[in-house]
Amino acid sequence: MKEQTAQVRWERRAQRPLLALAVLFAVAYAVPIVVSPASRSLTNACTAVEWLVWGAFAADYLVRLVLTEDRVRFVRTHWLDLCAVALPLLQPLRLLRLVSTLLLVQRRARMASQIRLTTYVAGAVVGLLMFGSLAVLSVERESADGNIRTLGDAVWWSFTTMTTVGYGDHAPTTGLGRVIAVGLMLSGIALLGVVTANIAAWFIARFEKDDVEERRQTEAILLLTDEVRALRAEVAALQETSVQR
């Protein structure tokens, strides 16, 4: 049980620094896209920061693997983390680095049990909107007949996609841009599901009516208990009579 505790202790301590690194990654990812004709040195610095943050999360995975009790089970239940760690090594593309870091951050965020579901969903939606916008912008700006060319357009497009409104005034035209769009659409459907389910659960808990039968049962049981108590009193009286004679 000692190793287990060591793992949990590490996970708690590493949480805040890793969250700070995630924010740093967001900045490093956004800067070369927003500052459009970015100088070479700035781009290089941002790439370095991205690799650094990815490295920190990879190191976190390894430390947890070393500290865990049952390593085989850890690898099996955390195979997605392993993929996310390995992905940028196989194909050092910027977008894959984004996806793998987002996956690692998300996996880490889910571990923080004090974060409630609503906060988690809201955070995931905001993150997806932000990174979806940036990723589509960086991909579509290169395309000759693309129509998403400013950050404003990209954010606007993300919103219309995620809420499944889909005006069509802006839409990705490249294959990669469309893959990102599909991700946003599926997240939008999940978002809709979570919002609806949340409201429905609240509604159902409020209008629940099957308490009537249960309250009648409770009353019946209490009545029965009174009956039995009266019976005990009678038996006690009988006992008294019996003894007296």
Shortest CB 138 distance to its own copies, Å: 19
Of the pair 48, 235, the CB lying nearest its own copies is at 235
Contacts 24+ apart (CB under 8 A), 85-93: 85/57, 85/58, 85/61, 88/51, 88/54
Q: How far apart are CA 184 and CA 132, in angstroms?
A: 7
Of the pair 34, 228, the CB lying nearest its own copies is at 228
Rg value, the chain, Cα: 29
Shortest CB 245 distance to its own copies, Å: 8
Please give the backbone phi and psi of residue 117, each rounded to the nearest 5 degrees, phi first.
Answer: -55, -45
Q: How far apart are CA 20 and CA 17, in angstroms?
A: 5
**Interaction mask 99-138, its own copies, x per CB under 8 A:** ----------------------------------------
List Cα–Cα distances, 80 to 61, 104, 109, in angstroms.
11, 9, 14
What is the DSSP code string of 53-96? HHHHHHHHHHHHHHH-S-HHHHHHHTHHHHHHHHHHHHS--HHH
Residues between 181 and 200 that touch its own copies (CB under 8 A): 181-182, 185-186, 188-200
Please give the backbone phi and psi of residue 78, each rounded to the nearest 5 degrees, phi first.
Answer: -115, 35
Candidate residues 90, 114, 116, 214; the one interacting with its own copies per rule CB under 8 A: 214
Binding flag, residue 242, its own copies (CB under 8 A): yes
Shortest CB 39 distance to its own copies, Å: 27
Residues between 136 and 175 that touch its own copies (CB under 8 A): 152, 156, 159-161, 163-169, 171, 173, 175
Of the pair 123, 166, the CB lying nearest its own copies is at 166
Shortest CB 214 distance to its own copies, Å: 5
Of the pair 127, 166, the CB lying nearest its own copies is at 166
User: Which of 191, 185, 192 minimizes the C-alpha distance to 158?
Assistant: 185
Of the pair 15, 173, the CB lying nearest its own copies is at 173
Shortest CB 131 distance to its own copies, Å: 17
DSSP character at residue 13? H
Of the pair 69, 142, the CB lying nearest its own copies is at 142
